[in-house]
Amino acid sequence: MADLSVKIHKLELKNPVMTASGTFGNGVEFDDFIDVNALGGILLKGTTLHHREGNDYPRMAETALGMLNAVGLQNKGVDYFCKHIYPIVSKYSTNVIVNVNGSTIEEYIELTQRINELEHIAAIELNISCPNVKEGGMAFGTSCPMAEQVTREVRKVYDKTLIVKLSPNVTNIAEIAKAVEAQGADSVSLVNTFLGMAVNAETRKPVLSTITGGLSGPAIKPIALRMVWQVAQAVKVPVIGMGGIASATDAIEFMLAGASAVQIGTANFNDPQCTIKIIKGIEEYLDRHKLLSASDIIGKLQM
């Protein structure tokens, strides 16, 4: 049996399969369906310093092989997280990672400091790419100077593994990846959702309350794959790939393109057990190709 473990900076993952933030709740919602500890790691839903109600309903539109969401980071804020969610997720033995969001640099810093105190949180994923909030969010991830600044400031107050989550809504994603790497990011994860829109022709109205939203699911896979490949060429830190992954084959494609690990998002909605199936599928693939380790396929695209 092949060795599935991979490393993201100081994080040891027992396999390369993690879950994408905002699609896996706090993990506990999946306890009925799977053994959450069998995953390489879990990304909790986006957390902010203060309570956020999120955007108005409707927040979702189904699209061809995908969906648009405009949740807008609904969460109860970091105090609630520390008091009520952290004790529950601490029971997991797998890597538990918090997705950190802010509308100002100060908010990112303060939230990071709070999370830094939590022993069982193995890493943070700095979300500079949420397309569904008015202030901050994607603005940090679509400008090189702002991405640099927020990474630099957060780096100063965080000593565990710092992952920066990149927005695909940019002209040159490799440039942003290089910029955050230079400021001390230990890893980059990509992609967040693509800014999109849905219209109801009958009512002549936008479907989402926010008019635009973030596109995810198999529809975005080829673009996400291309971006992961470009970023993996550009940086030395490990890359975490995501965007439309729904099968082991999809995951392997991202790893061949240069991802050291993958995150599974929207596919969890269709099949809450898909992550476990993907781990099994990767293992079968490695065995079938007589490879000893999952790291043997990272970036091994044959040109």
Ligand X SMILES: Cc1cc2nc3c(=O)[nH]c(=O)nc-3n(C[C@H](O)[C@H](O)[C@H](O)COP(=O)(O)O)c2cc1C
Binding site for ligand X (CB under 6 A): 20-23, 45-46, 69, 71, 73, 99, 127, 130, 165, 192-193, 216-217, 220, 242-245, 264-267
Nearer to ligand X, 21 or 112 (CB): 21
Distance CA 1, CA 3 (A): 7
Is 130 considered catalytic here? Answer: yes
The interface partner of residue 242, options being ligand X, another protein, none and the CB cut-off 5 to 8 Å by kind, is ligand X
Nearer to ligand X, 208 or 264 (CB): 264
Residue from 34, 9, 301 nearest 159 by CA: 9
* Site for another protein contains 80 (CB under 8 A): no
The token pair at 242 is 């995501």
CB 81, min distance to another protein, A = 15
How many other CB atoms are found less than 10 A from the CB of residue 284?
12
DSSP-derived letter for residue 84 is I
Between β-strands 161-165 and 187-190, what pairing exists: parallel, antiparallel or unpaired?
A: parallel
CB 23, min distance to another protein, A = 6
CB 189, min distance to ligand X, A = 8
The token pair at 110 is 């303060």
DSSP-derived letter for residue 287 is H
Nearer to another protein, 68 or 232 (CB): 68
Q: How far is CA 31 from the centre of its chain?
A: 20
The token pair at 89 is 């997720």
The interface partner of residue 192, options being another protein, ligand X, none and the CB cut-off 5 to 8 Å by kind, is ligand X
The interface partner of residue 145, options being ligand X, another protein, none and the CB cut-off 5 to 8 Å by kind, is none
The token pair at 157 is 């107050």
Write the CA distances from 82 to 79, 115, 154, 155, integer angstroms: 5, 8, 19, 21
CB 229, min distance to ligand X, A = 16
Task: Give the residue numbers annotated as catalytic, written as ranges.
Answer: 130
Q: Which residues bind another protein (CB under 8 A)?
A: 22-25, 29-30, 32-33, 45, 53-54, 57-60, 62-67, 69, 71, 74, 217, 266, 268-273
